[in-house]
Amino acid sequence: MDMSLRSLGRAVDYEPTYAAMQAFNAARTESTPDELWICEHLPVYTQGLAGKTEHIFNPGNIPVVQTNRGGQVTYHGPGQVVVYPLLDLKRAGYFVKEYVYRIEEAVIRTLMHFGVTGHRVAGAPGIYVRLDDPTSHALLPQRPVKSGAEPFRPAAGSGANLTGPDFTGLGKIAALGIKVSRNCTYHGVALNVAMNLEPYLRINPCGYSGLRTVDLFTIGISVSWDEAAQVLSHKLATYLAP
């Protein structure tokens, strides 16, 4: 069954979109086609189910919305492409772990389209870039490894967190937050294109202190919101196909 792409437009309020996703999934049947919703939000902080208030230092005039997705706090705002896949995973034929992998792969392929190398970090969903060389194809030592392989351990004194994910030398360019109910997905992925990144300084992004957030513009890639939205939505439609 084909997936339809639905543009919600730009400068869209978050809360009505969140309500619409819930309503869509509540009303869907086994024959409801899957959809990808593409939009840009007005400034908002969203908290995941396990979100801790101490990760938001100074929201100022930016609203904070409690949601039922996984993960901690993140920020949405102008200059960011947000895509919400509304999929029936049972019909698609894969599980949540592969769903997350496929979303991340679509982001990596989108970045590749613009000449940037995206990376995964073990234990931290989302996509990251090397701050010193965003085009480098060199594998990260802190990338996820297959079970049975020796996991990466940062050296003592390196400044890396020895117990959690290691973000040394990296900036986060795409955030992921999902919810699956009755085998159907909502929430999704956000790719930073050309934003005011200051609001990220008011939070611990995704619950990680000191994690730097970047966008395509700050790493030297000038691309329009429309082009980034078009590439990402088509990569997602391709990689999320059954």
Respond yes or no: is residue 206 known to be catalytic. yes
Of the residues 81, 173, 206, 228, which is catalytic?
Answer: 206
Nearest Cα neighbor of 74 from 235, 181, 197 is 197
Instruction: Dihedral sign for Cα 60, 65, 71, 75, please.
Output: negative
Q: Please, which residues have CB within 8 angstroms of residue 212's CB and are 6 or more apart in sequence?
A: 131, 167, 170, 171, 172
Annotated catalytic residues are: 206
